[in-house]
Amino acid sequence: MRLALGSTNPVKFESLAAALAARGLKAEIIPVAVAEAPAQPLSEEETRRGAVFRAEAALRRSGAKLGVGLEGGVDLESGWLTMYAAVTDGLRTALARGPGLPLPEDVLKALGEGRELGKVLEERYGPEVRRQGAVSVFSGGAMTRKEALSIAARLALGAFMEATP
């Protein structure tokens, strides 16, 4: 099976690979650049739409069986970090939400002023945190960005898999 991932980001690639492995699936993952997707979604809706947009664009541009979109964002209204995965075959789309947590007020303020979360984290904690992500920083290392996105991907992929008792 061939899956198109709507991103060339190595963390998103590793997240999808981990999701497939956790489900016992083997697939070729085709990374597809989707430059038109928003760089920093700032609402639950933008994050969800970004995941769907990435999945649909990846499917259209690749000829794969399924398109997958993984998106992390921040909902400024609730103050929560959020993760979404979308999987589409062109006829139907499955959505799933991954783990999230509230962000500190000063980080939310910086985002509201137009700053990007990754850059805010780098300035505060150093460049090595960029790959681990905000979920790792603010959960005390309990979960990485890769793990959070992988959970969302596993759930969304489940809609296209046969259930077994």
Is 117 contained in some domain?
A: no
Domain count, the chain: 1
Is 125 contained in some domain?
A: no
Segment 43-71 mean pLDDT? 97
Is 91 contained in some domain?
A: yes
Give the CATH number, domain containing residue 73: 3.90.950.10
* Distance, CA of 1 to CA of 84 (rounded, Å): 22
Is 138 contained in some domain?
A: no
- For residue 130, pLDDT over 80 is answered with no
| Predicted confidence band of residue 13 (pLDDT cuts 50, 70, 90) | very high
| Predicted confidence band of residue 54 (pLDDT cuts 50, 70, 90) | very high
* Distance, CA of 107 to CA of 119 (rounded, Å): 11
Is 124 contained in some domain?
A: no
| Domain membership of residue 49 as a residue range | 2-102+144-158
Is 111 contained in some domain?
A: no
What is the rounded average pLDDT for all residues in the chain?
93
| pLDDT for the residue 132 | 80
The answer to whether 35 touches 6, Cβ cutoff 8 Å, is: no
Is 98 contained in some domain?
A: yes
> Is the model's pTM score more than 0.85?
yes
